[in-house]
Chains A and B, each alone.
Chain A
C-alpha cells in the first residue's frame, strides 16, 4: 500500500473494486479475508476489515455468516456505472485545466482525441 496516497482502507477497497471491474474477481466468488489482505499488503487487519466493510456498505460485497465476504451479483455493473459518472471529474477536468493553460482550444483537443483513436 502507498503511505502517501491517503487512507489505506480506501486503497484496499479500490484494489478489490479494480479486480471486480477487470473481471479477475467474479461475482459470487469469495473476496480475500481481512487477515489475508493484512498479510499481503502488510497492513493492520483492522484497516483491511474497514476496507472490506466499506464495500459491504456500498453493496459491492456481502457477508455470508461464518464463511466470509462474497462479490454481490450486479457489483460489476454498479462499479462501472459509478466510474463512468466519475470519469469527467477525474479525467476530463485535469485535461481541460492543462489544455487551458497551454491555450489549446476544445476543437484542437477534440482533433487530438480523434487522431489518437485513429492511431490505435
Chain B
C-alpha cells in the first residue's frame, strides 16, 4: 500500500483531556477508508490534524510527504467536509458552491450541478434557511465536486434521510470509480457503509484499535453459539471479545487466531455465523471499555480459565 498520509506517534491534548494518545496510522492512497469509533473517540480531532486545522501536542503528521498545517501546497489538494459546517450568514447555496469552485483546483461544475438536483437543493435558497439534512447535502455536494485528491467527510449524513444517504453512497461510489482518490469517511452508520470501505481505522479513547483491510476483517471473527463449555473451550483457543450465556447455552463473538475458521467451530460442536463489521466494531469497543471481554448474565471468563 502507498500511504498518502501518515500519523506517527501523535498525541493531542486539550487541557486535561487527551483526545489522541500516541497513535500511529497511515491513510492509504486512492482508497476509501472508514474512520470508525464511538463519540469522543478522537475521530474529528484526527481529521482536524490531517487537514492542518490543529497542530498535534506531540508527534508528526504528514500528508503528501509534508506537514499540513499552514501549508498551501498540501491543503489545496484536500477537502474537509466538517460535521455541521457553517457558512457566512448571507450565503445562498449557489454562493457556497461558487466559493468552493475557487478554492478547489479540480472542481467539477457539471458534477456539482447534477448533485444539486439529485439532492433537490434550491441554488437560490439562503443556507441558513436550509434544514439540517439539506445543510449536510451542501457539504456532500462540495466534497464530491471538489474532486480533491484527499477528501475527508466527518459524519456527513446528519439529518439526511435514508434515501438521501443512499444517494450519497451511490454518487460517491460512482464518482470514485471514475476518478479514484483518497476518501476518509467517519461514521457511526457502519452497516450502511461497510461494503464501500477498502480500509478500516477504528479508534477508541484516543487509541487505534484496528487498522486493517476491510476484506480481511470479514470472516476474521465469528459469532458462535452452543453448549457453554464448548463455547468456552473454543474461545480459549482464540480471542474472546464478547459473550452472553443463558442456562447452559452461550453465544460469543470470537476473533480467530492462527488461521482458524468456521469449520473449526463446527468441528468443535458449535454453530457459527460470520460477524459483520458493525458487530466486530461494537464488540471490540466494548472490550476496551471494560478492559476485558464484555459479558452479560453469566461470566464465561470463569469457565475459560
Contact = CB atoms under 8 A, between A and B. Distances in A.
Interface stretch (B55-63, B212-220, B236-244): B212-220
Interface in A33-60: 34-35, 38-39, 41-47, 50
Interface residues of B, number: 26
B218 A38 contact: no
Contacts of A34: 177
A22 interface: no
Interface stretch (B115-123, B156-164, B195-203): B195-203
Interface of A: 1, 3-9, 34-35, 38-39, 41-47, 50
A35 B277 contact: no
Nearest to A44: B198
A5 B196 CA distance: 16
A38 B177 contact: yes
Contact of A4 (B169, B170, B180, B273): B273
Contact of B174 (A1, A6, A7, A39): A39
A4 B276 contact: yes
A6 B218 contact: yes
B283 to A, nearest CB: 14
B275 to A, nearest CB: 8
A36 to B, nearest CB: 9
B73 to A, nearest CB: 28
11 contacts: A4-B275, A4-B276, A5-B274, A8-B215, A8-B218, A35-B178, A38-B173, A39-B170, A44-B214, A45-B180, A46-B198
B229 interface: no
A44 B276 contact: no
Given A39-B173, A45-B180, 12 more contacts: A3-B191, A4-B274, A7-B215, A8-B195, A8-B215, A9-B215, A39-B177, A41-B195, A42-B169, A43-B196, A44-B173, A47-B215
A6 B214 CA distance: 11
Contacts of A7: 215, 218-219
Interface in B219-270: 219
